[in-house]
Structure 1
Amino acid sequence: MSTTKSSTSSRLSVHRPAVSRAALVVGLAFLVVGVLGFVPGITTNYGSLAGAGHHSMAMLLGVFQVSVLHNLLHLGLGLVGVLLSHSATLAKAYLVLGGIAYLVLWIYGLVVDQQSSANFVPLNTADDWLHLGLGLGMVVLGLVLPRRYTEATAATYHGPTAGGRIQ
């Protein structure tokens, strides 16, 4: 005899396709980073936070060069990720296309002179290598995670009692 047990939290997390959950986590991470970019102390040299451009000497976590534009882009990308995470197809597109955009940004950061006006985001070396990791990670997540929730998928990721089945 098997009994079915379900809760709101299990329905929200277990029954959501893995690609949707990944897009949600990535989106939430971007939202957190965007907010932290406006927090003095977490962002060092906060007084030099510029609207855009390489003249901003504000550094998120003392490492990543940020500006108001950079922080707003993180907030926007995070919001898009959260919104698109509700559809597996859109979540996949968000991860893959967002990842490709980050890979393009990585290449841009490698070729642009960090002191030129073309460095409008702004980007430093730490940003460049973070963008490579983010780009690769997002593309891989979008391509390998399943877009459908099935009992087999649930069992693979959460064990045989996934979905509330108790044996």
Structure 2
Amino acid sequence: MTVPPAHARARRDPADGQPPVRRAAFAVAVLFLIVGLLGFVPGVTSDFADLRSAGHQSGARLFGAFTVSVLHNLLHLLFGVVGLVAARRATAARAYLIGGGAIYLVLWLFGLAVAHDSAANFLPTNGGDDWLHLAFGAGMVALGVLTAGRARP
């Protein structure tokens, strides 16, 4: 039995044998699923009666700070499901983290460019969302780059 050279093997965690990039994608995916679900929980989401399907008229606030709508929550859930699927392979996990992070950086720029009370704010977002999108985007890209190594599928 031949062993591939060290540079061709994915870095693996000794505890579970999984490449760190897969574990990072899984953790991010679970976080998105939790946030998406919590957006539908009255109490965790303040002004829940003001939750709208989409648009800047939604007055619901996750943790009292982040504007959410049904669309916004569903997008978090979708990101979570995609992440769970991507976490099954190192190459897909890396693409999820870097590509998803890039999408969140675009959402950050969108939030900065669009007035929060305009019809163009279809998700909706507020200042808190904007900076959270920056943190998620930068964090996901960093995780994708730093944990990938020379991962094999």
Q: Same fold (TM over 0.5)?
A: yes
In the TM superposition, residue 147 of structure 1 has moved relative to its aligned partner by: 4.8
Counterpart in the other structure of 1:130? 132
Q: How does 1:12-161 map to 2 (within 5 A)?
A: 14-147=16-149
RMSD of Structure 2 on Structure 1 (CA): 1.6
What letter corresponds to residue 112 of structure 1 in structure 2?
V
Normalising to structure 1: TM-score of the pair? Answer: 0.80
Q: Find the residue that maps to 1:122 and give its secondary structure.
A: coil
Secondary structure at 1:82 match in 2: helix
> What CA distance in whole angstroms lies between the structure 1 residues aligned with 2:63 and 2:32?
15
What SS class does the counterpart of residue 148 from structure 2 fall into?
Answer: coil
Question: Contact 1:58/1:67 (CA < 8 Å) preserved in 2?
Answer: yes
Q: Which has the larger radius of gyration?
A: 1
TM-score by length of 2: 0.87
Check whether the contact 2:94–2:148 (CA below 8 A) recurs between aligned residues.
no
* Amino acid of the structure 1 residue aligned with 2:142: V
Cα offset, 1:144, TM superposition: 1.1
CA contact (8 A) 1:27 1:77 kept: yes
Matched-pair contact (CA < 8 Å) for 1:20–1:147: no
**Aligned-residue identity in percent:** 54
Contact 1:70 1:121 in 2 (8 A): yes
- List gaps (5 residues or longer) in structure 2: 1-12
Retained in 2: the 8 A contact 1:88–1:147? no
Superposed displacement of residue 146, structure 1:
3.1
In the alignment, structure 1 segments of 5+ residues that lack a partner are 1-10, 150-167
